Chains A and B, each alone.
Chain A
């Protein structure tokens, strides 16, 4: 399918576009380097790349927007007959509302907290469609209905914080479409949303794009999503275009090693590739029976706090040595509460929790030191879990000093050995964690956990802050550690595809209740509950956009990539 009709001028065009920003050292760095782009009216382009690739900067340029300190140092941008960077601020405001619209990543920060969503839509309609009063309200309700919001009349008068994440993102989309723009730019619009919600929002965007025959530019780090939404894909790295072409062709036969690595790193839901259950499972290291927890709202001036719905309601599981139990669920499913109970960050849970048959006390503080040592936690945000005032080697050395009474020199030597084994460069050892890349930071956090020589590793969304290729490396690392040390791993994530690629067994949570619990492969092939089936379907819908040949070839690629990486 070709989008640029010959002899017709492209609808959206950049030529040699270069954006530089001051780096605070008096020098200039390029965020976007000589990017050429030509899109016909109604074309859909996905821009993918890892963090820092310049994809967001490029997308903003299409609306004539630059971050403070950045400037266009070469080339030009054109949308229709307009060059956004040549417009004065009034003309630019009119252009942005009426002809080009942007849907940003975080819907909450792009809505004004003190105005009802209806009032915010009304303001846009007044400015761009000259609608007032009753007409504006009627149009706002129409837009809300168009974005599949339930009961627009009652939502119209609510404030942003009273809406769910998916509803907010629909409002932002409704606002973006208020003036029937010819160009829609979406910057990671579903990253903050649950998978089933994401799926609905993507359907909605695709439908509205077709109705308006708008040109769509979709920025994302998620190739699955881009493959589903766009007919063309552009891969960026360090500000430059690495590869651009027809989506299906690019995914099937990437021409560059970088695109190939990106495709290989995407987790894909493939039951046939799920790890089979660990063979001699043995007695469980951790076992939970009837685990229950209810958050108590803070006690007021009078009386005790109200008791709400339980965050965790009667969950059972067993975790054996050498086995990975994947815990999947959307936000509010209780999966983080489960981790907090096991590691001892929360107290007041009911039911039984045992480590090697011995009961575990609520808070870590009231557990014996040996129990604390044997359960180690790895956190979601690696940077927040490493103290910026300590050096990498000191961070990793601490558990040896605390648990094994090692001398400072012994502990540091052991830490250095661990860090080397996890491929953290030796020259970073005496630096602060801020000087490391995200992937290296997470390796340091893993090294700290291993320094305690644990039996159980708790991983709570440990890859969600990492780029896809780094995420694939982290997962490979965990597998290696597990086979070397025979660890039991509790792997918690909202990403079913990711969990399915590492977990021997799955525990699916919804609203604090276990909906499914069993070997990964069987659970994926024959889900035991409607909820699990729906979750699988939401992941499938993205995955079907990916060509099967890529699926078949990528296991080898991942292996090759990871082994040559070190």
Chain B
């Protein structure tokens, strides 16, 4: 009797996988679908688009037709084909830049948070200094310094996003380092590298995944803003920010030239945010400090 009474109840109950749990929420499904669509287009748009992005195939500003579903732009290029490719450069540059930012930021944040002392002070003061400069001013200065080819833009994204990642990772490292399993490893006499990369770092993976996704979507927005200002992607490469800027001259006669690229950009940002929210909740990662 007593043994049955004392058996741990439901401690080892089977739970469904987090992914399955996440897919129960419609917002998450919509988000994942949008992200998948944008990734697919970014990879394969040139192969499936009806026309080349630079070929002049019609008169300027023709209305939608069977041959050109969204009509043509000011100089007669197929608008649908350009819209499909409009996120490629921004996504590529953001993806590369943020990947570097997350890798570098994670390494610096881990070391600063765990070592503390002068090393922490040094890393954090440089980060603070970078974060004190308004982003758009920092970007403008960097563009004027490094130019605006793909590599330069990627480096700029990396420079702008690293400080934020350093802060988030450092804060999480400090709270993780205070846990008893880290103390247990230190008391066992594990090396600092083991403590950092075997005990602490694996517990940052969820946080880093959230950081990566959220910051890529924010970087895409920033690159588009740069292109709009003429500091980012330049003709003839199609880019949503640039397309919005081109649409400014015809905004009262042909407003869809403004609405379509803006909607494409928004759908990517919204998609990433929905997907990250849903996945982070299902996997139990807090996205609040991101």
Indicate if the CB atoms of B12 and A258 lie closer than 8 Å.
no
8 example contacts (A-B, Cβ-Cβ < 8 A) are as follows A345-B186, A365-B186, A372-B188, A377-B184, A384-B181, A387-B181, A402-B188, A561-B3
Indicate if the CB atoms of B8 and A437 lie closer than 8 Å.
yes
Indicate if the CB atoms of A261 and B11 lie closer than 8 Å.
no
Indicate if the CB atoms of B12 and A435 lie closer than 8 Å.
yes
Q: Are A387 and B21 CB-contacts (below 8 A) given A238-B9, A365-B186, A427-B12?
A: no
CA distance A561 to B7 in the complex (A): 11
B contact residues, total (Cβ < 8 Å): 29
Indicate if the CB atoms of B2 and A399 lie closer than 8 Å.
no
CA distance A435 to B186 in the complex (A): 25
Specify which of B2, B5, B190 lies most central, judged by the most chain A CB atoms within 10 Å of its CB: B2
Indicate if the CB atoms of B12 and A565 lie closer than 8 Å.
no
Specify which of B4, B5, B183, B184 lies most central, judged by the most chain A CB atoms within 10 Å of its CB: B184
Q: Are A384 and B180 CB-contacts (below 8 A) given A257-B1, A389-B202?
A: yes
Write the nearest CB–CB distance from B182 to chain A, whole angstroms: 8
Q: Which 8 pairs across A and B sit closest by C-beta, in order of nearness?
A: A257-B1, A437-B11, A389-B202, A385-B180, A437-B8, A258-B5, A564-B3, A561-B2
Q: Are A399 and B11 CB-contacts (below 8 A) given A260-B2, A384-B181?
A: no
Residues in B neighbouring A351, C-beta threshold 8 A: none
Residues in A neighbouring B190, C-beta threshold 8 A: 402
Contact of B134 with A by CB under 8 A: no
Residues in B neighbouring A387, C-beta threshold 8 A: 181, 199, 202-203
Indicate if the CB atoms of B11 and A436 lie closer than 8 Å.
yes
Residues in A neighbouring B181, C-beta threshold 8 A: 384-387
Contact of B144 with A by CB under 8 A: no
Specify which of B12, B21, B202 lies most central, judged by the most chain A CB atoms within 10 Å of its CB: B12
Residues in A neighbouring B186, C-beta threshold 8 A: 345, 364-365
Residue A381 contacts which of B2, B180, B188 (CB distance < 8 angstroms)? B180
Contact of A26 with B by CB under 8 A: yes
CA distance A69 to B135 in the complex (A): 42
Residues in A neighbouring B11, C-beta threshold 8 A: 435-437, 440
Q: Which residue of B lies closest to A387 (CB)?
A: B181
CA distance A242 to B11 in the complex (A): 20
Q: In chain A between 382 and 407, which residues have their CB closer than 8 angstroms to a CB of chain B?
A: 384-390, 398-399, 402
Contact of A343 with B by CB under 8 A: yes
Contact of B179 with A by CB under 8 A: yes
Residues in B neighbouring A247, C-beta threshold 8 A: none
Chain A interface (Cβ < 8 Å from any Cβ of B): 24-26, 52, 237-238, 257-258, 260-261, 343-345, 364-365, 367, 369, 372, 377, 379-381, 384-390, 398-399, 402, 425, 427-428, 435-437, 439-440, 448, 452, 469, 473, 557, 560-561, 564-565
Indicate if the CB atoms of B189 and A385 lie closer than 8 Å.
no
Q: In chain B between 169 and 222, which residues have their CB closer than 8 angstroms to a CB of chain A?
A: 179-181, 183-184, 186-190, 199, 202-203, 205
Q: Which residue of A lies closest to B11 (CB)?
A: A437
Contact with A along B1-25 (1 / 0, CB 8 A): 1111111110110011000010010
Q: Which residue of B lies closest to A343 (CB)?
A: B187
By DSSP majority rule, is chain B's interface helix, strand, loop, or mixed?
Answer: helix
Residues in A neighbouring B180, C-beta threshold 8 A: 379-381, 384-385
Indicate if the CB atoms of A261 and B12 lie closer than 8 Å.
no
Write the nearest CB–CB distance from A32 to chain B, whole angstroms: 16
Q: In chain B between 30 and 71, which residues have their CB closer than 8 angstroms to a CB of chain A?
A: none
CA distance A372 to B186 in the complex (A): 10
Q: Are A261 and B187 CB-contacts (below 8 A) given A24-B21, A435-B12?
A: no
CA distance A452 to B189 in the complex (A): 12
Q: Which residue of A lies closest to B15 (CB)?
A: A25
Residues in B neighbouring A448, C-beta threshold 8 A: 184
Residues in B neighbouring A389, C-beta threshold 8 A: 202-203, 205
Write the nearest CB–CB distance from A432 to chain B, whole angstroms: 11
| Known A237-B5, A365-B186; further 8 A-B contacts with Cβ < 8 A | A26-B24, A261-B6, A380-B180, A385-B180, A389-B202, A389-B203, A402-B188, A564-B3
Write the nearest CB–CB distance from A257 to chain B, whole angstroms: 3
Indicate if the CB atoms of A345 and B2 lie closer than 8 Å.
no
CA distance A296 to B205 in the complex (A): 36
CA distance A401 to B9 in the complex (A): 34
Write the nearest CB–CB distance from B10 to chain A, whole angstroms: 8
Residues in B neighbouring A238, C-beta threshold 8 A: 9
CA distance A354 to B179 in the complex (A): 27
Residues in B neighbouring A427, C-beta threshold 8 A: 12
Indicate if the CB atoms of B6 and A345 lie closer than 8 Å.
no
Write the nearest CB–CB distance from B52 to chain A, whole angstroms: 49
Residues in A neighbouring B21, C-beta threshold 8 A: 24-25
Write the nearest CB–CB distance from A114 to chain B, whole angstroms: 23
CA distance A238 to B4 in the complex (A): 13
Residues in B neighbouring A398, C-beta threshold 8 A: 188
Residues in B neighbouring A388, C-beta threshold 8 A: 203
Write the nearest CB–CB distance from A436 to chain B, whole angstroms: 6
Residues in A neighbouring B24, C-beta threshold 8 A: 26
Write the nearest CB–CB distance from B238 to chain A, whole angstroms: 43
Indicate if the CB atoms of B8 and A440 lie closer than 8 Å.
yes
Residues in A neighbouring B1, C-beta threshold 8 A: 257
Write the nearest CB–CB distance from B48 to chain A, whole angstroms: 38
Residue A364 contacts which of B8, B15, B179, B187 (CB distance < 8 angstroms)? B187
Residues in A neighbouring B16, C-beta threshold 8 A: 25
Write the nearest CB–CB distance from B258 to chain A, whole angstroms: 42
Residues in A neighbouring B202, C-beta threshold 8 A: 387, 389-390
Indicate if the CB atoms of A372 and B187 lie closer than 8 Å.
yes
CA distance A380 to B5 in the complex (A): 25
CA distance A402 to B188 in the complex (A): 8
Write the nearest CB–CB distance from B220 to chain A, whole angstroms: 31
Write the nearest CB–CB distance from A258 to chain B, whole angstroms: 4
CA distance A107 to B24 in the complex (A): 39
Residues in A neighbouring B6, C-beta threshold 8 A: 261, 469, 473, 561, 565
Q: Are A560 and B2 CB-contacts (below 8 A) given A24-B21, A428-B12, A439-B8?
A: yes
Residues in A neighbouring B2, C-beta threshold 8 A: 257-258, 260-261, 557, 560-561, 564-565
